[in-house]
Amino acid sequence: MSDPFVVVGGDAAGMSAASKARRAAPDRDIVVFERGEWVSYGACGLPYYVKGEIQSLEDLVSVTPEEFREERDIDLRTGHEVVAIDTDERTVTAESESGTVVQPYGHLLIATGAESVVPPVDGVDREGVYTLGSMSDGKELREYVARARDDADLQQPDRGLACRYLEDCTGPVAVVGGGYIGIEMAEALAANDFEVNLFQRGDRVLKGFSDETSEYVAEHLRDEDVVLHLDAEVRALSGDDRVEAVVTADDRIEVEMVLLGTGVRPRTDLAEAAGIELGETGAIAADAYRETNVPDVYAAGDCAEATHVVTGEPAYVPLALTANRHGRAIGRTVTGTPTEGGDIAGTAAVKAFDSEAARTGILDPEEARAAGFDPVTETVTAKSRAGYYPADGTVTVTLTADRDSGRVLGASLVSEYGEGAVHRSHAIVAALEAKATVTDVENYDLAYAPPFNTTWDPVLVAAKVLAGTLRDTDMEP
Amino acid sequence: MSDPFVVVGGDAAGMSAASKARRAAPDRDIVVFERGEWVSYGACGLPYYVKGEIQSLEDLVSVTPEEFREERDIDLRTGHEVVAIDTDERTVTAESESGTVVQPYGHLLIATGAESVVPPVDGVDREGVYTLGSMSDGKELREYVARARDDADLQQPDRGLACRYLEDCTGPVAVVGGGYIGIEMAEALAANDFEVNLFQRGDRVLKGFSDETSEYVAEHLRDEDVVLHLDAEVRALSGDDRVEAVVTADDRIEVEMVLLGTGVRPRTDLAEAAGIELGETGAIAADAYRETNVPDVYAAGDCAEATHVVTGEPAYVPLALTANRHGRAIGRTVTGTPTEGGDIAGTAAVKAFDSEAARTGILDPEEARAAGFDPVTETVTAKSRAGYYPADGTVTVTLTADRDSGRVLGASLVSEYGEGAVHRSHAIVAALEAKATVTDVENYDLAYAPPFNTTWDPVLVAAKVLAGTLRDTDMEP
């Protein structure tokens, strides 16, 4: 009773930590404060909920609040917002409808997550402008989609002008941001017969991936009648009460809805106010055990930075697996078994209509040079199955390595959905974590059979080609 | 002219070596002797040719003899059987229809491949008994299939008794051996409406894979009406001229054809006669550069052993990728750039009807103990995509590690075809090559998105569970 483990935030990191701590310490007091009503939900599934492939928001929840309370004996307090942390007194203060509580802690985990970045332009507060950061965002979007489809069924003849490309258009909408959320939402909306305008500030979608991956995915988006607006920074969302158009430097596109997929930033206010240090990335800094500068105070999930396995430097890559893994490690550490959370590789995957893509490690040459590497990159397109096998898919692999050491730095892979770009990226992640060289990868004894790859899997083909380039450039004066 | 690179055997290892040497040394004399007419063919594709998914044997050839001769300037002599190697004189003697030639060599590569093992039982020489080791084997089998189907169309009413299970049976046939060739051929024959009886000496198919993988694949075979005869050592193939039945200790099954998929053994006669040493595995021994005990004489492909990355000991695992990789390394070595061929991990993959399976490393407890390890194994079945995603596949992963060091020793994975067991095995291969521990794998930052896996990929789930078991057993007295 005197040494409670207190968690602020009831999503992946927080609930993983609480669950792991419970298994390790059956008698420990474990208190979780969550300001909303949902806990342990799969935010990554929201685009598929909006799309209509998942029927109920509840389906995204892996463990319900009741299960946490009753089966895992965790004192989970939803509807409680933590408003202050006192690291001297070792307490947190939480407010709820029933008043204010001051909760002492023995160990504290800050898992406050991230919030959607709203670009600083006129009109983002108009009706019809959405983000997709929370379950309630998902609910509102799905309701919008259903409403718009009903309206379209009634009024189709009046909407022809705005929907320029599609015959049975539900209405033209905008997605701002060509990252994975933007692309998944473009798919979700297009599947519901919206004409989707995708606005990307830079000159390509999926900027963390390779150029070739971006181009491949962009082609798929265009094939599916998504209208790509590249180099198109949004200046304003115009309209009266309701958004009516997206305004860029060159254009004004009429839309009926805008989804902002312009990234997230860590929620750090609470930690900062308590004197907990942030790192250079702007997220909460933590050591290998995920402990902050304040003893017994941990941070994990989308509010915290982590160590990048390639650079050895802190990085901010807010994704679900890291949150789970770090939460789990903290649950063990605070119950007596110090456990490192492990590094990150900046790995990400996305399905874009009928294509799939993954990236991992460091691909950007400037980023690589800043970390002391001399990056060399090759891209190959290789058959995804034996050439004679009755299927003709390909996988395009971009591989980057350091010129002198040959160490693999990063990769980006893309293929048709089902041709295995994403699962093949697993091999490169393992190579990054092992600090393997391109020659090491070239010699991987990967599984081969005609229905799955060519004798040299596309990953090996990329390694062969890049190893050759490294050898050739070695010989230059 | 004075220092030719001579290759004996024109398949994967030989032609890879010749091609690589040509690229590195445009003026070198490169002579390849191949006793047959086919070179550089994908024997792994033969089951799909017999099945009918590949229309022509030529489709299996990646580079034709003409291309090797004309585009790659390789002196390829098909129809030439090398009958002697003289390592003192540094010559090989080859016979062909046009006589005998004695060819001097500067470097020699022995790439004589493997031959099908025919079990020492009565009747294996009867008509209607096939193996699948060569292109001509494939041709004969496909012709048999076509002929039998034609006959069946004409005579169906007379064949009802022998085909016990299937309505439109082409005829009952036997496949002897439940390895990957046996299983691929069972699929090929079943797809052509044969009733397939699969005879396996041991108690499960795919004995190099985990029990759970074997059981999963066996279920798929049974679902497809393959009649599995386990613990069924074949005693004789009875009949008159033509095979009529497979006889085991307990049973006599009438069949119209028998395919022997009972493994291969290295073709080493030529090397042995020349004083080249074999290893304990019975295949030709070679060092890291694939050089034999005789200087300047190399061995690669299905006639040679290789070093296993887990045990550090020689192993005989005759597969296409190793042949290609070792051939390529030799091509570089003999042209002035010493290049190691790389180790093997004993990786293999197979598609069995609608399932897929892969294995890598050391799974057999006795084999692990013989190599000085104390193996601990866990098997998990985990969802292949997010639980809420509209698909409900699973991947079953068996993972083995050493108790004390935690080092990963091997894995076996199985799933429905398309759910990614094979491509996921790539991560474990990379882990084996890096000598990674289970905790290392548990911390891999693998790609995640709902259409591809759960937040913890099945590979990570297996690592988590096995790491937990290792920790628990650590604490035992």
Domains of chain B plus CATH, in order, are: 5-40+54-114+264-333 (3.50.50.60), 129-260 (3.50.50.60), 356-472 (3.50.50.60)
Chain B residues with beta carbon closer than 8 angstroms to that of A460: 321
- Tell me how long chain B is: 477
For A169, list phi and psi in degrees, rounded to 5: -70, 135
Mutate to test the interface with A, among B446, B472, B475 (most CBs of A within 10 A): B446
By the 8 A CB rule, do B19 and B74 touch?
Answer: yes
B333: CB partners within 8 A, 6+ apart: B289, B290, B291, B298, B339
Q: How far is A389 from chain B (nearest CA, A)?
A: 7
- How big is the A-B interface in CB pairs under 8 Å? 231
Q: For residue range A386-419, list pLDDT tens digits in order.
A: 888 887 899 999 999 999 999 999 999 999 999 9
Instruction: Using CB atoms within 10 Å of the CB of residue A397, give its burial: 0 to 12 exposed, 13 to 18 middle, 19+ buried.
Output: buried
Q: Which residue has the tokens 């990150």?
A: A344
Mutate to test the interface with B, among A53, A423, A461 (most CBs of B within 10 A): A423
- A44 to B450: CB separation less than 8 angstroms, yes or no: yes
Chain A residues with beta carbon closer than 8 angstroms to that of B425: 446-447
- A452 to B351: CB separation less than 8 angstroms, yes or no: yes
Identify the pLDDT of residue A155: 58
- A425 to B447: CB separation less than 8 angstroms, yes or no: yes
Q: Closest CB to B347: pick one of A424, A443, A447.
A: A447
Q: Tell me which residues of chain A, numbers 325 to 354, contact chain B at a CB-CB cutoff of 8 Å.
A: 325, 340-351
User: Residue type for B109, please?
Assistant: L
Q: How far is CA A346 from CA A49, A92, A317, A360, B314, in A?
A: 25, 32, 6, 5, 38
Identify the pLDDT of residue B476: 44
From CA B182, how far away is CA A76, in angstroms rounded?
Answer: 56
Q: Is A275 at the interface with chain B, CB within 8 A?
A: no
**Structure tokens belonging to residue B418:** 């398309």
Band (B173; pLDDT cuts 50, 70, 90): very high
- A322 to B445: CB separation less than 8 angstroms, yes or no: yes
- B390 to A440: CB separation less than 8 angstroms, yes or no: no
Residue B423 has pLDDT above 50, yes or no: yes
Residue B282 has pLDDT above 80, yes or no: yes
Q: For residue range A322-370, list pLDDT tens digits in order.
A: 999 999 999 999 999 999 999 999 999 999 999 999 999 999 999 999 9
Residue A162 has pLDDT above 80, yes or no: no
Residue A161 has pLDDT above 60, yes or no: no
Q: Tell me which residues of chain B, numbers 181 to 200, contact chain A at a CB-CB cutoff of 8 Å.
A: none
Q: How far is A263 from chain B (nearest CA, A)?
A: 17
Report the percentage of chain B scoring pLDDT > 70.
95
By the 8 A CB rule, do A276 and A298 touch?
Answer: no
- A386 to B342: CB separation less than 8 angstroms, yes or no: no
Report the percentage of chain B scoring pLDDT > 90.
91
Whether A303 sits among the annotated catalytic residues: the reply is no
Complex ipTM tops 0.85: yes
A166-200 burial, b at 16+ Cβ within 10 Å, e below that, comes to beebbbbbbbbbbbbbbbbbbbbbbbbbbbbbbbb
Q: Is B434 at the interface with chain A, CB within 8 A?
A: yes
Element (H, E) at B440: helix B438-442
The active-site residue, picked from A44, A163, A169, A303, is A44
Residue B59 has pLDDT above 80, yes or no: yes
Q: Is A322 at the interface with chain B, CB within 8 A?
A: yes
- Average pLDDT on B277-292 reads 98
